[in-house]
Structure 1
Amino acid sequence: MTSSESPIQSRKIAEAARLLIDARRARQPIQAPPSELAPADDAEAWAIHEAVVASFGPVVAWKTGAPSPEAEPGMGLITADTLKASPAAVPADAFVLGAVEAEIAVTLARDLGPRPEPYSADEVLDAVATWHAAIEVLDTAFADWAATPALWKIADRQSHGLLVLGAGVTERPKIPLARLPVRLTINGETAFAHEGGNSGGDPARLLTHLANARRATDRPLLKGDVVTTGSTTPFRRATPGQSVRASFEGLPDAELTIAAA
């Protein structure tokens, strides 16, 4: 319990987190979560998110993204159990939702720790060690993900299921990140192919916002952390027996195979 939480709120957060943890581990989706456990606001949803993630291990990566270039970006914590190097393979029953997106990710060369003044975009980009193509797989603890309220999605690991990281390169892509050509293929068929496409605008904006949102916390961005910067494609559900590839110009591909049922 934090100093700002009442005992009742602390119990609610713990019970809501346990509900989500059990559903994820058993792959038994929640049909209708108890109304008394629903997050009341962003702060409560984030507290549940942190409690859920803590049960799966220490944080090694982050996700960020926004619905528009003007919207404030969100964030999510990622643990080692859902971070895999490409090419990755998972069992047929690995996901409830299994929606895949192509993303640009980075690995950090140094800490972006506490300091009074905000980090500039140039400082954050200079802290990048390697650039990667990535596949994020969205997953859920709920039976009807589309109808799940936004605060429950935040609490439920920001709908994170898996991050597949392509091999890294040290040189930033020459084409501006907001216009970098991307292709998402499933079983060799092109699902999406276009330039840019990140709903939050320039990935550098999202990365910089995350660095500054975390710089005054007890867990800022650290050397070795992976950050994935939001979807550049609409999501497409992948099913057992399918293979997925995310390709960005200038970056090695990220590949995921889901075993046949």
Structure 2
Amino acid sequence: MSARFDAAAAARLFVQAKAHRAKLDTLPEGARPSSADEAYAVQEATLRALGAGAANAGQATAIGGWKVGAKSTDGLIQGALLPADGVHRSGARLSMQAFGKAGLELEVAFTFNRRFEAGSGPYDEAQVLAAIDCIHSAIEVVASRFAAWPDVDKLWQLADLQNHGALVLGEGVPYDESFPFVSPTMAFTYDGRPLFDATPANPAGDPRRLLAWTINHAVSRGLAVEKGVAITAGSYTGIAFPDGPGAAIGAIDGLPPVQLHFE
């Protein structure tokens, strides 16, 4: 991390933009991340600035979940921690105006039957897969604090909680390794109209390959991954932008559906 970089300054701008439903045109000198490490430092500073520290004893942040993704089956993996107030159960009612331009994605999320302690690990893939408790349908609301999004520096987007707006989780079912993770059968609709018409595919391939990276990323940065906290692992449907209030329903074969109401 460069000596002159101020992660807290960037975090304050993101928190203020969210609170006032405003959009940023740029980041000032000294608050512009120039590496992934600096971007992750902004993520952590953002949760501290949100005043969430009391919810997790021993941690400076209250982490409600994690998002992770990759652009290809062997591409760079990147993730973001998610504030607890941004993670909701199926049936959530959210204001569209809270996000500005908001996109919707249908994903598969995972919860775990154990806590991964801060500073522990590293964990191999077998250890992480053995700890999966449930799998869930999930709708991610993708939103940015930048006016020009998606035409924004990639590291700035990573710092901005990787464009996190909200995460809505369906009920979980026990983990089954035979679930067709590469291309499950699904439907994603908004007020009954399809939001995508292609074959579902996660660009990362099997999203389970992203989980050990996420756990190791977290614990190596001094952050625990709590039992029952969800990791959502990339879109199967691309991103869709609804143009008005309505109800999104994600139905993935073998999983309970997930529903979001935009008001």
TM-score norm. by structure 1 comes to: 0.89
Deviations 1:60-106 (A, max 9, x none): 21110011111121010011110000011112412112100001001
| 1:137 aligned partner, one-letter code | V
Give the distance between the partners of 2:26 and 2:175, measured in 1 at CA: 47
**Is 1:33 aligned to residue 27 of structure 2?**
yes
Deviation at 1:227, TM superposition (A): 0.7
Indicate which of 91, 98, 115 corresponds to 1:94.
Answer: 98
Secondary structure class of the residue paired with 1:176: coil
| Structure 1 residues 191-228: Cα deviation after superposition (integer angstroms, max 9, x where no partner) | 22555411111111011221233343421423121110
Query: Is the 1:100–1:135 Cα contact (8 Å) retained in structure 2?
Result: yes
Distance 2:177 2:193 in 1: 25
Aligned to 1:108: 112
Q: Which of 203, 224, 231 does residue 227 from structure 1 map onto?
A: 231
Question: 2: distance between equivalents of 1:98 and 1:178?
Answer: 26
Q: Which residue of 1 aligns with 2:194?
A: 190
Shift of 1:44: 1.3
Tell which deviates more after alignment, 250-259 or 45-54.
45-54
Identify the residue that residue 8 of structure 2 maps to in structure 1. 14
- Aligned residue-pair number: 252
Q: Structure 2: give runs of 5+ residues left out of the alignment.
A: 53-61
Asked if structure 1 preserves the Cα contact closer than 8 Å seen for 2:42 and 2:159, the reply is: yes
Partner of 2:196, secondary structure, is strand
Contact 1:76 1:157 in 2 (8 A): yes
1:46 paired with 2:27, answer no
Percent pairwise identity: 31
Q: Determine if contact 1:30/1:141 at 8 Å carries over to the other structure.
A: yes
Q: Cα offset for 1:43?
A: 1.4
Q: What aligned pairs does 1:1-261 form with structure 2 within 5 A after superposition?
A: 6=3, 8-9=4-5, 12-56=6-50, 57=52, 58-113=62-117, 115=120, 118-120=123-125, 122-172=126-176, 174-193=178-197, 195-259=199-263
1:20 Cα deviation from its structure 2 partner: 1.3
| Cα distance in structure 1, aligned partners of 2:217 and 2:30 | 29
Letter in 2 for 1:49: Q
In 2, Cα distance between equivalents of 1:246 and 1:173: 21
Distance of aligned partners of 1:124 and 1:116 in 2 relative to their CA distance in 1, 3 Å threshold? closer
Closer, same or farther: CA 237–173 of 1 in aligned 2, 3 Å: farther
Segments of structure 1 that go 5 or more residues without pairing to the other structure are none
Q: Deviations over 1:110-130 (max 9, x none)?
A: 12345555322x332221121
Distance 1:241 1:207, change over 3 A: same
- Displacement of 1:240 in angstroms is 3.2
3-state SS of the aligned residue for 1:52? helix
